[in-house]
Amino acid sequence: MARFDRYIGIDYSGAETADSSCKGIRVFVAEGSGEAIQIQPPPSPRRYWTRRGLAEWLREKLDQDIPTIIGIDHAFSFPLAYFEKYRLSSNWQDFLDDFRSFWPTDAPNTYVCFIRDDPSGRGLKRTGERTWLRITERWTPTAKSVFGFGVQGEVATSTHAGLPWLRYLRRTCKRPVHFWPFDGWEIPEGKSVVAEVYPALWMRRFPRDERDSDEQAAYAAARWLQRADRSDSLGSFLNPSLTAEERSIAKIEGWIMGLA
């Protein structure tokens, strides 16, 4: 029996500012067992989604009484070594609050690179080594480090741009939302979910038609979530085969949905 009625796949981008029109941000939504369709941003002078506009749209969707699962293509947390280096609480909300105080990438007119290159060293006070990998990234041969800026296929910029917006959703959604796996590996019935995804795992599983790579990534995320839920296989992915130690670490570092 399906857990969700709506499936949202998002290919994310950390380009420019939170209010910039980003061609790399794409959103696909599937309702029930229907086809996934691309959602365009609300009418405005900007042609593409902005990160701020997307976060506000997601908040509206999560506040609706429709069980929804959302997959977003950037990391939701950092490797355990980062927490140890800065002696941080393992609580995810505390991590988000601490990160945002050093990397306010949701602020107007702020690029990720502005903070990276800040002469005051603001970003340097909360950074890590590109050799640091989360367990979930070690399970995925092509996944990149959250600190690997400037490499092909990097996720560092989108992650540093996106984390403050996860904090925004957690703080502003009126209905309780389950951020997986930080709020638990098991998802309460009827609750909407936000999870990290890695569309490269699934992009070749679905016909591309005339979609570009960003569109295909978002489409594949929405379709995979829908298929896994509707085929009753999602449960196995919500409880990956980890040791007790790995599971406790992944509760801090996060996990990519779809790795079992």
Q: pLDDT of 1-25, one tens digit each?
A: 899 999 999 999 999 999 999 999 9
Mean pLDDT of the chain: 95
- pLDDT band of residue 151 (cuts 50, 70, 90) is confident
**Contacts made by residues 168-175, CB under 8 angstroms, sequence distance 24+:** 168/55, 168/59, 168/106, 169/55, 169/58, 169/59, 169/62, 169/194, 170/93, 170/96, 172/59, 173/59, 173/62, 173/63, 174/63, 175/62, 175/63, 175/64, 175/65
pLDDT digits (tens, 9 = 90+) for 200-243: 999 999 999 999 999 999 999 999 999 999 999 999 999 999 99
**SS3 at position 106:** coil
pLDDT higher than 90, residue 44: no
Helix (H, G, I), strand (E, B) or coil at 159: helix
Separation CA 243–CA 141 (nearest Å):
20
Task: Kindly tell me if the per-residue pLDDT of 52 is higher than 90.
Answer: yes
The whole-number average pLDDT for the span 235-258 is 96
Residue in 259, 255, 153 with CA at minimum distance from that of residue 201: 259
When pLDDT is cut at 50, 70 and 90, the band that residue 40 belongs to is: very high
Task: Look at the pTM and tell me if it is higher than 0.85.
Answer: yes
Q: Which pLDDT does position 120 carry in this prediction?
A: 81
H or E element at residue 1: none
HSE-up of 33 (CA within 13 Å, CB side)? Answer: 5
